[in-house]
Chain A
Amino acid sequence: MDISDVSELTTMAMPFAVEFGAEEPVIEAIRGGDRYAFEEFMRRRNRWVRGVIFGVLGNRECVDDVSQQAWSTVWQRISELRDSRSWRPWLYRLVRNAAIDAGREITRRRNVVRPLAGDLLGRTNALEPDAALARNEQHREVLAAIQGLPAIYREPFVLRHVNGWTYQEIGEVMGLPVDSVETRLVRARRILRESLKDRIE
Chain B
Amino acid sequence: MSDVNERLERLMVRSLDGALSEDDELALNRELIRNPEARRLMSAYRTVDELSVAALDEVTVGEAPMFDARTWTRTGSSRRPNWQGRKWFWLAPGAIAAALLAMIIPRSVPTNVRRPPLVQMPEVPTVLGAVGSPLVGGQQDLMHSVRSTPAIHRDTGRDIIGVVGDDGNLYWIEVERTRTVTLPAGSSSRTAALNSL
A residues with CB within 8 A of B: 1, 6, 9-10, 12, 14-15, 33, 35, 38-39, 42-43, 46-47, 50-51, 54, 60, 63-64, 67-68, 71-72, 75-77, 79-80, 138-140, 142-143, 146, 157-158, 160-162, 166-167, 182, 185-186, 189-190, 192-193, 196, 199-201
Contact = CB atoms under 8 A, between A and B. Distances in A.
A3 to B, nearest CB: 9
Given A46-B62, A50-B59, A185-B17, A196 B51 contact: yes
A146 B52 contact: yes
A142 B69 contact: no
Contact of B44 (A75, A146, A186, A200): A200
Contacts of B63: 46
Contacts of B72: 72, 75-76
Contacts of B18: 14, 166
The 3 closest A-B pairs by CB, nearest first: A142-B55, A46-B64, A42-B64
A199 B51 contact: yes
B83 interface: no
Interface string B45-57: 1011111111110
A63 B155 CA distance: 65
Contacts of A76: 72-75, 78
B8 to A, nearest CB: 11
B62 A139 contact: no
Contacts of A166: 17-19
Chain A contact residues: over half helix, strand or loop, or mixed? Answer: helix
A14 B56 CA distance: 12
Contacts, number: 134
Contacts of B107: none
| Interface size range on B against A | 35 or more
B65 A196 contact: no
A180 B58 CA distance: 28
A138 B51 contact: yes
A6 B47 contact: yes
Contacts of B56: 51, 54, 143, 146, 158, 161-162
A1 B48 CA distance: 11
Nearest to B49: A161
Contacts of A161: 49, 52-53, 56
A67 B64 CA distance: 8
Contacts of A42: 64-65, 67
B54 A186 contact: no
A1 B13 CA distance: 20
Nearest to A190: B9
A10 B50 contact: yes
Contacts of B10: 182, 186
A158 B73 CA distance: 31
B120 interface: no
Given A79-B76, A166-B17, 17 more contacts: A1-B47, A14-B53, A38-B67, A72-B65, A72-B72, A79-B77, A143-B55, A146-B52, A146-B55, A162-B56, A185-B13, A186-B9, A189-B49, A193-B45, A196-B48, A196-B51, A201-B44
Interface string B102-124: 00000000000000000000000
Contacts of B52: 142, 146, 157, 161, 192
B59 A72 contact: no
B68 interface: yes
A157 B52 CA distance: 9
Contacts of A157: 52
B17 A12 contact: no
Contacts of B53: 9, 12, 14-15, 161-162
Contacts of B78: 76-77, 79-80
